Amino acid sequence: MKTGLIICGALGREVIAIVRKHGWDVDLVAVPAVDHVFPDRIASDVEAKFMAMQNQYERLIVVYGDCGSNGALDDTLNRLGIERIAGPHCYEFYGGKAFQEIMDEEPGTYFLTDFMVRTFNGLIMKSMGLVRYPELKEDYFKNYKRIVCLTQSPEAELGIKAAAIAAYLGLPLEIRETGFNYLETRLVELMNKPAR
């Protein structure tokens, strides 16, 4: 039996690329990325995937940050005896050591990743009600001072879309090419570690 990865849907494209790069024989099952808008769903949705998969795999690894679950995800994983990639969220996964430096420099930083740029209309605009109630933009974003886009791939189209998001929010944009950074190194560490 092989390893199953229960992943955050927002990390799907990147995790698939990492799996292919390392030639791992794993299956991936994603938890919907929209759970980030409703973080109280994260732990229960991950547990549901675990329950559906637990008898099919020798080992299960969760590729997900805490992402606002306030410790509920780790409590659930500890109870179930499953490991997850270390880290609080994908901004830290991708930003690496620079993430905290960026936050120290400007706490009012709004982060984007490639996934968020690709799905901004659905994930942010629609699920947060901005399409129906555009006046909410001021309430949601009034404390942000800038946008830092942590990009995993150098696609020109993503830069254009990130600039459009920055223009919509009325914030200056900085793009930093990060690659997969901690997401890859930490997943490699877990895959190379003996199952507990």
In the predicted structure, residue 193 carries a pLDDT above the cut 90: no
CATH number of the domain within which 69 lies: 3.40.50
> What residues contact 108, with CB distance under 8 A and at least 6 apart?
143, 144, 145, 146
Phi-psi region of 67 (alpha: psi -120 to 50; beta: other; left: phi over 0): left
Rounded average pLDDT over 49-68: 94
User: Quick one: 76 and 139 in the same domain?
Assistant: no
Distance, CA of 172 to CA of 175 (rounded, Å): 10
In which domain, by residue range, is 117 found? 97-177
In the predicted structure, residue 1 carries a pLDDT above the cut 70: no
Q: How many domains does the chain have?
A: 2
User: Quick one: 188 and 165 in the same domain?
Assistant: no
User: Quick one: 127 and 145 in the same domain?
Assistant: yes
Taking the complete model, does pTM exceed 0.75, yes or no? yes
**Distance (Å) of CA 168 to CA 46, 59, 122, 165, 188:** 33, 44, 15, 5, 38
Rounded percentage of the chain residues whose pLDDT exceeds 70: 99
Distance, CA of 159 to CA of 151 (rounded, Å): 9
109-158 residue pLDDT tens = 999 999 999 999 998 999 899 999 999 999 999 999 999 999 999 888 99
> Comparing C-alpha atoms, which of 174, 173, 175, 177 is closest to residue 153?
177
User: Quick one: 74 and 125 in the same domain?
Assistant: no
Rounded average pLDDT over 15-40: 94
pLDDT at 61: 96
In the predicted structure, residue 30 carries a pLDDT above the cut 90: yes
In the predicted structure, residue 15 carries a pLDDT above the cut 80: yes
